[in-house]
Structure 1
């Protein structure tokens, strides 16, 4: 096949592969449908790849003439190992989607219609955008909201309701709806975050993973008023996702959620009471990935700004030790976060027992290394600040190397 001379106009300008479903943009250039939709929708490029012109209209027109020419050429070259390209299915239109969304709201046809929607989403990026623009997110969110079992509900109805909720959540996840659509969804459906919390409490592993990923996207764009008023239950469930290690993506999303939520209102206290600190310490112990460690330390830094968070860190037998261990071993960012955590402990929770523990696990030695090494200016200043704060308690300690004594910061 490599020796076959393929007509240039059969090749997609983006992928340089034979076009299977040629379509023409408003700029007059023809591309393969899958390639140009990935360019526009996934990569969010609103220009024509060839002409670089802006695209005021992302609608494409099927180039049936070129498709037939490509199919005929494939047939002629079948002896050379070229397979004939099948005629593509016509793309879904808004009328079909509107009909499906209406059927989704009818209990008798709900599951079947949801499965059809899921199939359409898997076919193309265009279908995803078309389904989103038809208002699918609001309909799907309503299904998830209504999945809580009723007293008079039969067991079969409960199972169907749970299955419908799982399907709706799967579709919402794969839709990857826009920030604007997420904001609109929460504005119109204030209880949706509560519904996703219930999924985290009672759902299977896949549903919990999808709910976590969806919550991450929501918290990144939602109005801060929603972040301040969150209930403690959601922190308990996010911590549980972190502990269960459902999937790599869900664990990362759980960390990102905690990073996003902890700075607001009393969320530090809520997260600490939900067991976030020991879960983060265990995560750092078990996980050597740089980004995961950085996020966990960033959350711990936030939590140690409150008394509850500091108490939880000190209650963990490896809390101070693991924070100290990660300084100078992961990245400058991780070192700075680790030093901020130690600074919070040194300023607000420095009992004699705590100071003794910091000596025993090598914190003071690590602080000296930061001061003497090639750390950032911010890290050096923070390390000096901690050493000066407790210089009387630590200066004569044998854990400080003799060659550091001359430069040991003192008040």
Structure 2
């Protein structure tokens, strides 16, 4: 094989290998299908690799059957020299085939069989996943999951949630709202609580991820009207030790809470459901999980914009300590959120007891360190404002360390 000269036009410009399924793009350049689809669908490029002309991923790739037959004939002639024959490629998923399959998902007697076919196609490649989403898979899946909930019927639910997870990237990038039916929230919460499914840890993780995507992509009017039971259920799943929800699943639930926070009504409802206490407990149980810490602090930062949210945080025996610990230990995002929470607490709940607690758990020392570290300017300004405003109280508090007191004095007066 090494001594055989391969015709140049048999070689894919991307992989530099003999093409197995040559297709021609709208720019007139021929590539191996696997290579150009990876270029378009996995790496999200929108230009032709050779001509540099625009090449939208929705554009057709025309099979070059003449070239494929030439390559197959050449391979057969050179089989004695170690060249493998290239089989006729499998017909790729077409847009109309995808639409017809998704229509079958609405037929009760075809649903399970169709879900299995769709899952197999989604596993194959990114191109299939994009086509399925563009053909309306999201609406069909949410409709199926809701019907399972309405009938309290688990058959097919595992496959539907797995398929939802497989196409997650394409769903996140799809324009427009994912659903107009608010029953999807109750349906996914029900799936999270189902213990009769096989391998329920995986199923629940998929349900949690679906919930995250639905909150992110649903009609904003639906998200704004989320029920108190929704937030209570998520809080219950997050704090439960034996809920069979993986760390990845809990991360998805925290994302869902964070995406629901921009609406003031949701923040009030979350506070009333006891979410502040539950989030602090989640952080205390996962002190070394970076993403969990960032998300918990993100939600707490929103909830502390409410007076009752701040009151709940300072009334938790480990509340201020849980917010203080991550500063300068986790990430810049965690620093930003934690300092913002402390700023809110110090400004609106800065009683003598709270300020003394900040000394005891090391908040004052951490704020001083923020002033000396390579932090963003706005963080330093917040830290300085907190220190300056409460300097007299902290300076007179006997347990404060001499180092922290001296550093605070240096920051404020130099």
Q: TM-score range by the shorter chain?
A: 0.7 to 0.9
* Equivalences for residues 18-97 of structure 1 within 5 A: 18-55=18-55, 58-75=59-76, 82-97=83-98
* Equivalences for residues 277-356 of structure 1 within 5 A: 277-285=276-284, 286-356=286-356
Residue number in structure 1 paired with 2:164: 172
Deviations 1:220-275 (A, max 9, x none): 34443222211123323434554558345434333322222112122223333444
**Residues 326, 338 of structure 1: 8 Å contact kept:** yes
**Residues 232, 274 of structure 1: 8 Å contact kept:** yes
Gaps of 5+ in 1: 151-157
Greater mean alpha carbon deviation, residues 94-103 or residues 343-352: 94-103
Taking the aligned partners of 2:14 and 2:396, their CA distance within structure 1 comes to 68
TM-aligned CA distance change 1:248 to 1:74, over 3 Å: farther
Residue number in structure 1 paired with 2:216: 220
Taking the aligned partners of 2:104 and 2:17, their CA distance within structure 1 comes to 39
**Residues 199, 211 of structure 1: 8 Å contact kept:** yes
Q: 1:199: how far off?
A: 2.2
TM-aligned CA distance change 1:127 to 1:406, over 3 Å: closer
**Residues 183, 218 of structure 1: 8 Å contact kept:** no
Taking the aligned partners of 2:175 and 2:408, their CA distance within structure 1 comes to 57
Taking the aligned partners of 2:140 and 2:375, their CA distance within structure 1 comes to 53
Taking the aligned partners of 1:372 and 1:102, their CA distance within structure 2 comes to 61
Residue number in structure 2 paired with 1:153: none
Residue number in structure 1 paired with 2:407: 404
Taking the aligned partners of 1:106 and 1:137, their CA distance within structure 2 comes to 16
Aligned length: 400
* Equivalences for residues 150-229 of structure 1 within 5 A: 150=151, 161-176=153-168, 177-178=170-171, 183-187=176-180, 189-202=181-194, 204-229=200-225
Q: 1:327: how far off?
A: 1.6
Q: 1:146: how far off?
A: 0.8
Taking the aligned partners of 1:240 and 1:2, their CA distance within structure 2 comes to 63
**Residues 395, 408 of structure 1: 8 Å contact kept:** no
1:270 equivalenced with 2:266 (yes/no): no
**Residues 22, 32 of structure 1: 8 Å contact kept:** yes
Q: 1:89: how far off?
A: 1.3
**Residues 34, 124 of structure 1: 8 Å contact kept:** no
TM-aligned CA distance change 1:62 to 1:329, over 3 Å: same
Query: Helix, strand or coil: the match of 2:245?
Result: coil
Deviations 1:126-157 (A, max 9, x none): 3333333433332222211111254xxxxxxx
Deviations 1:2-54 (A, max 9, x none): 67654443332223333222211122211121222232233333332211222
1:101 equivalenced with 2:102 (yes/no): yes
Q: 1:107: how far off?
A: 2.5
Taking the aligned partners of 1:112 and 1:67, their CA distance within structure 2 comes to 33
**Residues 182, 218 of structure 1: 8 Å contact kept:** no
* Equivalences for residues 227-242 of structure 1 within 5 A: 227-240=223-236, 242=238
Taking the aligned partners of 1:273 and 1:3, their CA distance within structure 2 comes to 76
TM-aligned CA distance change 1:58 to 1:215, over 3 Å: same
**What TM-score, normalized by structure 1, do the two folds share?**
0.83
Deviations 1:346-366 (A, max 9, x none): 222333332222221122222
1:146 equivalenced with 2:139 (yes/no): no
RMSD, aligned α-carbons: 3.2
Query: Helix, strand or coil: the match of 1:23?
Result: strand
Query: Helix, strand or coil: the match of 1:31?
Result: strand
TM-aligned CA distance change 1:368 to 1:21, over 3 Å: same
Residue number in structure 1 paired with 2:120: 119
**Residues 364, 400 of structure 1: 8 Å contact kept:** no
Deviations 1:327-382 (A, max 9, x none): 22233432232122112222223333322222211222222333345443322222
